[in-house]
Structure 1
Amino acid sequence: MNFFILISYILVGYSATAEYPTFKSPHTIRGTAQGTTYDIKYYASDQVISKSEVDSIFRVIDESMSLYKPNSLINQFNSRDVKGVKLDAHMYNVVKASFQYYKMTKGYFDITIFPLLKLWGFGPEGFRFNPSESQIDSVRKTVGLDKIKLRKDYLKKRDKYVSIDLNGIAQGYTVDVLSQFIKSRGVDSFIVEVGGEIYAHGIKPSGERYKIEIQRPYSQQIAPYRLELQNKAITTSGSYEKFRILEGNRISHHIDPHTGRPLMNNTLSVTIIANTAMEADALDNYLMYLEPSAAINFIEKKTDCEAYIIYSENNTLKELQSSGFNNYIY
């Protein structure tokens, strides 16, 4: 991970004091899932959540939407021999939201972009070759939400070559599912992190909010941002995550569905604060496609989101943030 965009949470101030009638001690669950790590911390008088329960949630979601599980529901849908599938609850929730984000982002958030991701070497098979213009044009014909139709809980193809990738919001959705599960156990103070995507709920027994740290450009000279979150999610997308060098240029895994080509602009990373991790996940991807000022203008029109952007201008790293972002800095 690049030095200038590290998100972490700070585990301090977790001791309960005698002034609280019910002693709540910290409980931590850690592990690996979805090709990354996860970390959950919650406060309760007893250990009410087990690691096996958390791992079971990951397993069910992966069996639904993981491109790396050969028999997952999404891979069944992506088979050219299949015309459609009946969705389970998890995949239905994510696909339905994807249609909404497609409209909100003017087609930039497009789950049918998977054939282009594979063509450019960002799919599960990895890099094979740099595509030609004719190959790009050919594959682009299979991309677009008009190629699929969601009717109740049935997802149907209108082109047998269409295939989908839900990774753009599936991890954020997973954070939200885990958060809802923890709430269902009566826990009112916790933080969930999966691969750097975070949701913080409630306050600690000490009365403190959860603290999130974001490293900034030239972090040795500039102190990182430290944010306080309560009932909010925070996620980051960046061109540093997955990239290759093509003809001397660094190309990222953000593929423009309108051109069929990797995104090439001066935005390096976008951090979003939102009510849910799935929404933050969708918006941090979309804002990567926009020029920094346009991205901030978009966020300013939303009353429940904030953004922090790192971009390059004249070989210099710069920052831009929405007007309400400062409200989270302590």
Structure 2
Amino acid sequence: MKKKIVAAFCLTIVLTAGGCSGGGTSSQAASSKNQAQTVSGSETSSVSEASGASENSSISSSEGAASASSSDAADASSSRDIFAMDTYMTVTAYGPNAEIAVDQAQQEIERLDALLSTGEETSEVAQINANGGGTLSEDTVCLLERSLDLYDSTNGVFDIAIYPIMDAWGFTTGNYTVPSDETIESLLPLTDANDIIYDKDNASIRFAKEGMKIDFGGIAKGYTSGRIADIYRECGVTSGLINLGGNVQVVGTKTDGSKWRVAVQSPEAEDDYLGVLSTADRAVITSGGYERYFEQGGVRYHHIIDPSTGHPANNGLVSVTIVSADGTLADGLSTSLFIMGKDKAAEYWRAHSDEFDTILEDEDGVLYVTEGIADDFTSEHETKIIRKDGDT
């Protein structure tokens, strides 16, 4: 029997204290028609909202590579730009409780950033890594259980224990270098998530091998966007847009009742896109080797590491977009399917087609779109449909 990878969340996590009746101080962003911010390196994030917004109004980012458009705002709206989790984010809500919802969304982002950061010594995850284990909070219990489920369902492709290899390449610090084969071989035994010993009754973990470390970075932003969507719904927000460094999640429809139009960015240029997806109440998350990389000796090395080799994945795909109601799942699978390559990714989708859809781009620029979203995706690129019956 097939095991579902999208279950009801592993536990109920209480929303921001006070539900939607509290307020807190607001630092609402100015509602100019064009706001833009730039992150050092290759990452950019911009927000463009216009009165009577056309389909060209977009949120775009080279990290996550997505854009979304909105029509006229409802009577009340709030939008805020936030820097957290090493990226620029924008949260936007429409409706009578929009400002309160955005206040609480910012609080939730900052709380989860402080909890999950591997670079902040006082964070829960950093403390667990430093001590070889520890007690888990409700959020990290949920993230661990989801991560271990994904590890099993992807046959080890999604692996939160990959941190020592990522560190050796310098992707955790920015001190990039190509590690020796000997270094990689010595670290690979530390990257098996089966060696994470999870005591569910006591909500704690320990590592079977000294030197193991974990990182929830592969699903943290997707999890966070899902939490914000929950907050929006608790506040009665029926139209909202969440862009966490390019990880886009839309809540409900646009304010006029039509679907959001989310543009999947081209890996070739930040101002170009592969196509446009019409959707509602979905996360749309893209991963690719173009997001974060360095060059050494004339060779480009990207940050999506294949756990089976310890080297950047090289299976013929340029980018992978996941569309799902579950932001955590979409985040985890966007890198997992990239590592798998086209054929295995298509096979994986066929086994889980009720839980997500995907858009794959290969090295020749051909797009492969699963049939669940084929009618909602438009593109000028050569496009082939991945069908459940095995035909493409």
Greater shift in the superposed pair: 49-58 or 206-215 = 49-58
Contact kept, 8 Å, 2:93 with 2:101, in 1: the verdict is no
Letter in 1 for 2:95: A
Q: Which residue of 1 aligns with 2:230?
A: 180
Correspondence 1:15-164 to 2 at 5 A? 15=73, 24-49=75-100, 52-79=103-130, 82-124=131-173, 126-127=175-176, 129-152=177-200, 153-164=203-214
TM-score when normalising by structure 2: 0.74
Q: Does 1:233 align with 2:250?
A: no
Q: What is the CA distance between 1:50 and its match in structure 2?
A: 5.8
CA deviation after TM superposition for structure 1 residue 53, in Å = 3.0
* Secondary structure in 1 matching 2:220: helix
Deviations 1:86-111 (A, max 9, x none): 11111111111000000011001111
Which secondary structure does the structure 2 equivalent of 1:124 belong to? coil
Q: Give the letter aligned to residue 376 of structure 2.
A: Y
Task: Report SS of the residue matched to 1:211.
Answer: strand
Residues 308 and 227 (structure 1 numbering): CA distance in 2 closer, same or farther, change over 3 Å?
same
Equivalent AA in structure 1 for residue 118 of structure 2: L
Unaligned 5+ runs, structure 1: 17-23
1:67·1:124 contact (CA, 8 Å) conserved in 2?
A: no
Residues 27 and 84 of structure 1: CA distance in aligned 2, closer, same or farther (over 3 Å): same
Number of positions where the alignment pairs a residue of Structure 1 with one of Structure 2: 315
Secondary structure of 1:164's match?
coil
For 1:309 and 1:55, locate their aligned partners in 2 and report how far apart those are by CA, in whole Å: 32
Alpha-carbon distance, 1:309 to partner:
1.2
SS of 2:185 mapped into structure 1: helix
**Structure 1 position 15, deviation (Å):** 4.8
Contact 2:132 2:212 in 1 (8 A): no
> Does 2:247 correspond to 1:197?
yes
CA contact (8 A) 1:62 1:69 kept: no
For the residues of structure 2 that align with 1:223 and 1:113, how far apart are their CA atoms?
31
Residue 143 (structure 1) shift: 1.4
Q: Is structure 2 residue 362 aligned with structure 1 residue 311? A: yes
Deviations 1:34-80 (A, max 9, x none): 1112222222134442654333212211221111212111111111x
Report SS of the residue matched to 1:71. coil
Q: Distance in 1 between matches of 2:206 and 2:66?
A: 38
Q: Which residue of 1 aligns with 2:69?
A: 10
CA distance in 2, matches of 1:109, 1:155: 19
Q: Deviations over 1:187-237 (max 9, x none)?
A: 2221211111111122233121222112447789x9752222111111000
Distance 1:62 1:321, change over 3 A: same
2:352 maps to 1:329? no
Distance (whole Å) between structure 2 residues aligned to residue 217 and residue 86 of structure 1 = 40
> Could you tell me how far apart the structure 1 residues matched to 2:274 and 2:159 are?
33
Contact 1:74–1:164 (Cα < 8 Å) also in 2: yes
Which segments of structure 1 move beyond 6 Å, counting only runs of 4 or more?
2-5, 217-220
- Equivalents in 2 of 1:219, 1:239: separation in Å? 13
How big is the shift at 1:290? 2.0
Alpha-carbon deviations, 1:309-328, whole Å to 9, x = none?
1121xxx4222211222232
AA of the residue aligned to 2:196: I
Alignment CA distance shift 1:139-1:202 (3 Å): same
Q: Distance in 2 between matches of 1:182 and 1:105?
A: 31
Percent same amino acid among aligned pairs?
24
Change (3 A) 1:224 1:107: closer
Letter in 2 for 1:148: I
SS in 2 for 1:272: strand
CA root-mean-square deviation: 2.4
TM-score (norm 1): 0.87
